[in-house]
């Protein structure tokens, strides 16, 4: 299950609706969320999330989203523990990071209340592996100071891309499941606030 760190890039781009000189943009973690779905036994889908998000967009265009993998929330504590220990291996890989460099002038004419679709490229660093990702997002200028970046559809992340095959097999064995699908749909809604 890969993390949709790509979301942060979108949020960063959205932040361009204000002049890029001066303060950076910071992720409003309380107003943001990042969710993923796991599918077990062929057709049983369950929603999960990460509660520890942080991120920023610098005046020069560098956008970063950091996901604290220890904050995975599946709704079942023993499953949270297994995800941390056996899948994400947070003792060795505590964070996932998404980065991109944005053309901050691209959204300079975005008006308050306006929504605009964008295609973003990003790099996701997870479990010691870096993978290039793409995401279609919708950017909304909420009030001239806050920008919302949402996924327009799920970003499909493949566990094999990050070397999670052994961890996935361990989770399947511990839960006595016939299968766990090695693809996780990820969605996100990120709010960035001008500093």
Q: Encode pLDDT of 132-166 as tens digits.
A: 999 888 989 999 899 999 999 999 999 999 999 99
Binned at pLDDT 50, 70 and 90, residue 21 comes out as very low
Indicate if the pLDDT at residue 106 is higher than 60: yes
CB 192, CB 13: distance < 8 Å: no
Domains of the chain: 6-194 (2.40.128.110)
Query: Mean pLDDT across the stretch 53-61?
Result: 87
The per-residue pLDDT for 3 is 36
Please determine, for residue 29, whether its predicted confidence score (pLDDT) is greater than 90. Answer: yes
Instruction: Report the distance separating Cα 169 and Cα 160, nearest Å.
Output: 12
């Amino acid at each position: 299950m890969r993390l949709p760190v790509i979301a942060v890039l979108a949020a960063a781009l959205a932040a361009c609706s204000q002049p890029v000189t001066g303060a950076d943009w910071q992720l409003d973690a309380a107003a943001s969320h990042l969710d993923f779905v796991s599918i077990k036994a062929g057709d049983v889908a369950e929603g999960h999330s990460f509660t520890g998000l942080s991120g920023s967009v610098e005046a020069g265009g560098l956008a970063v989203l950091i996901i604290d993998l220890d904050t995975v929330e599946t709704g079942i504590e023993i499953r949270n523990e297994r995800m941390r220990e056996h899948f994400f291996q947070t003792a060795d890989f505590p964070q996932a990071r998404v980065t991109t460099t944005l053309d901050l002038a691209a959204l300079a004419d975005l008006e308050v209340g306006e929504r605009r679709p964008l295609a973003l490229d990003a790099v996701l660093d997870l479990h010691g592996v870096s993978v290039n990702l793409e995401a279609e997002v919708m950017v909304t200028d909420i009030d001239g100071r806050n920008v919302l970046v949402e996924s327009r559809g799920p970003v499909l992340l493949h566990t094999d891309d990050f070397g999670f095959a052994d961890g996935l097999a361990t989770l399947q064995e511990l839960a006595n499941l016939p299968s766990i699908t090695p693809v996780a749909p990820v969605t996100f809604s990120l709010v960035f606030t001008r500093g």
